[in-house]
Amino acid sequence: MTLVAVSEAHRFMVDCLVHVGTSWKNAMSVADVLIEADSSGHFSHGLNRLEMYVNDIKRGFCISNAVPYIIKETVSTAWVDGCEGLGPIVGHYCMEVAIKKAKATGIACVTVKGSHHYGIAGWYSRQALKHNMVGFTCSNSTPLMCPTRSKDVALGSNPISFAAPGNDDDSFVLDMATTTTSLGKVEYKKLKNEKLPKGCALGEDGNETTDPVQALKVHHLMPLGGSEETAGYKGYGLALLVETLCGILSGGDFGPNIVSRLEDKKNKSLKSHCFIVIDPNCFAPAFQDRMSDLMNHLRNLSSVDKDKPVLVHGDLEKAKKEEVLENEGIYYLESQLKASAELAQRLGVRPIKEFQKHTPTPIATD
């Protein structure tokens, strides 16, 4: 693995996006989301996704400088058109609207159609923490999930993120796909030449596989929980819940109607998102104290493995970000840097500059 300064990785992302016509401001915002993913250990959604964004812009599938707008609103709701813009730009706009309305009314819900892949969902839910509020977001995605008992895909990995503030900048941040794993993490397993855990994906024959190469031939992921015997229907239900809040509520494409970028390279693959913000001051007092009490109780539970303490969702990502800060950079796989160098050559931008080579023992977040 190779260490790259955070500023250098960010610079490269911005240069690539600007080269294909993205404004500097929008490129900076998108790069912020991608860097946040890599800094948190979610390498499937950081530098690994840059080329996808670049290609979508070049093909005209995504309007990099589109300006989303509100179609209809009330004091606590908004229905937004993303105007086929970059997902992180659309998502940031919608979350700002939700936060502003929640400050005024106590709770807000914003749903948007006509967007694109918006990166890690946790980026948006965590924006509410800056205002000591609770944040929630979810997004539909390209059909990748085979519903329980099905060999055919019909729903996406449909991520969910929920963030609740505690004291002293401590927080509970859930960020999860409703499939057992995301397609990006299958791709990352392939890059690392590692097997998939059981219950993640189906192969070409419709049976479960642990081979990422086989899984990537058909892109058939299993719901969170795996097979029916291990309650995979719960993940299926969660994915359908997300689809209802996103595609159905927003009037956007939903489920099997979302174009698969893997099968159709001539049409746009548009996504929908939902954002909810709650001001806890409108409810019982001392929310943050009570939240911290619960999180600290959970962390102090007796562990089945003395070397692996009980954690709260978001702890691993926080530890990874502290590691990145200490190292003054992010460790990338050689295969990632090779792909980035090839992208730089195609675009004619300055490639990523490495400043140290080392093989660490990184904190795992998969």
- Is residue 366 situated within a structural domain? no
The per-residue pLDDT for 81 is 98
CA distance linking residue 157 with residue 201, whole number of Å: 12
Please determine, for residue 364, whether its predicted confidence score (pLDDT) is greater than 80.
no
Percent of the chain with pLDDT over 90: 85
Closest CA to 170 of 33, 289, 303, 322: 289
Residues in CB range of 14: below 8 A, 6 or more apart: 24, 27, 28, 31
Cβ atoms 242, 163 nearer than 8 A: no
- Residue-level pLDDT at 20: 97
Closest CA to 155 of 248, 217, 240, 216: 240
**Is residue 298, in this structure, part of any structural domain at all?**
no
pLDDT in tens, 37-83: 999 999 989 999 999 999 999 999 999 999 999 999 999 999 999 99
Above 90 in pLDDT, residue 358? Answer: no
For the segment 148-168, the average pLDDT, to the nearest whole number, is 96
Nearest CA among 111, 156, 169 for reference residue 137 = 111
Residues 156 and 197 grouped into a single domain: no
Cα dist from 366 to 14, 77, 139, 362, whole Å: 26, 34, 20, 11
DSSP 283: S
> Residue 328, CB half-sphere, CA atoms under 13 Å: how many?
4
The number of folded domains in the chain is 3
**Residue 120 shares a structural domain with residue 154:** yes
Residue 302 lies in a domain: no
Residue 357: per-residue pLDDT = 46
Confidence of residue 142 (pLDDT cuts 50, 70, 90): very high
Confidence of residue 268 (pLDDT cuts 50, 70, 90): confident
Is residue 333 in a domain?
Answer: yes
174: how many CB neighbours lie within 10 A of its CB? Answer: 16
Position 265 pLDDT exceeds 70 = no
Angle between helices 183-191 and 47-58 (to 10 degrees): 120
Q: 362: pLDDT confidence band, cut at 50, 70 and 90?
A: low
CA dist 223 and 220 (Å) reads 10
Q: What is the pLDDT of residue 44?
A: 87
The β-bridge partners of 213 are: none
Number of neighbours of residue 318 by Cβ within 10 angstroms? 17
CB atoms within 10 A of CB 358: 10
Alpha-carbon span 340 to 55, nearest angstrom: 13
Identify whether residues 346 and 238 lie together within a single domain: no
Q: Of 247, 266, 282, at which residue does a domain stop?
A: 282
pLDDT of residue 187: 86
Domain identity same for 173 and 90: yes
299 token code pair: 């962390």
pLDDT of residue 182: 83
Tokens of 116: 């694109």
**Distance of alpha carbon 291 from alpha carbon 171, whole angstroms:** 8
Examine the domain organization and report whether 46 and 87 are in the same domain. no
- Residue 290 placed within a domain: no
Q: What would the DSSP string read from start to end of 289-353?
A: HHHHHHHHHHHTSPPSSTTS----TTHHHHHHHHHHHHHTSEEE-HHHHHHHHHHHHHHT-PPPP
Does 346 lie in the same domain as 237?
no
How does pLDDT run across 291-348, given as a tens digit for each residue? 999 999 999 999 999 999 999 999 999 999 999 999 989 999 998 999 999 999 999 9
CATH number at residue 241: 3.30.1370.60
Whether residue 75 sits in one domain with residue 44: no
Does 293 reside within a domain? Answer: no
What distance in Å separates the CA atoms of residue 32 and residue 101, rounded to the nearest whole number?
Answer: 24
Question: pTM for this structure?
Answer: 0.93
The arithmetic mean of pLDDT across residues 272-300, rounded, is 98
Shared domain check, 52 and 199: no
Q: Which domain holds residue 207?
A: 186-221
DSSP annotation of 52: H
Residue 244 has pLDDT above 70, yes or no: yes
Q: Is the pLDDT of residue 249 over 70?
A: yes
- Out of 76-80, 106-110, 266-270, 277-281, which region has the weakest mean confidence (pLDDT)? 266-270
Read off the pLDDT of each residue in 5-22 and give the average, rounded to a whole number: 97
Indicate the pLDDT class of residue 113, thresholds 50, 70 and 90.
very high
Instruction: Note whether 239 and 96 are same-domain residues.
Output: yes
Task: Count CA atoms within 13 Å of residue 237 on its CB side.
Answer: 6
Same domain as 123, residue 163: yes
Q: What is the CATH number of the domain that holds 46?
A: 1.10.1530.10
Q: Which amino acid is at 214?
A: Q
Of 162, 178, 196, nearest to 291 (Cα)?
Answer: 162
* Contact call for residues 158 and 239 (beta carbons, < 8 A): yes
* 319 falls within a domain: no
Residue 307, in any domain of the structure: no
Task: Say whether both 155 and 106 belong to one domain.
Answer: yes
> In which band, very low, low, confident or very high, does the pLDDT at 263 lie, cut at 50, 70 and 90?
low
Does 80 lie in the same domain as 132? yes
pLDDT at 101 exceeding the cut of 90? yes
Tens of pLDDT, residues 189-231:
888 899 999 899 999 888 899 999 999 989 999 999 999 999 9
| % pLDDT > 70, the chain | 95
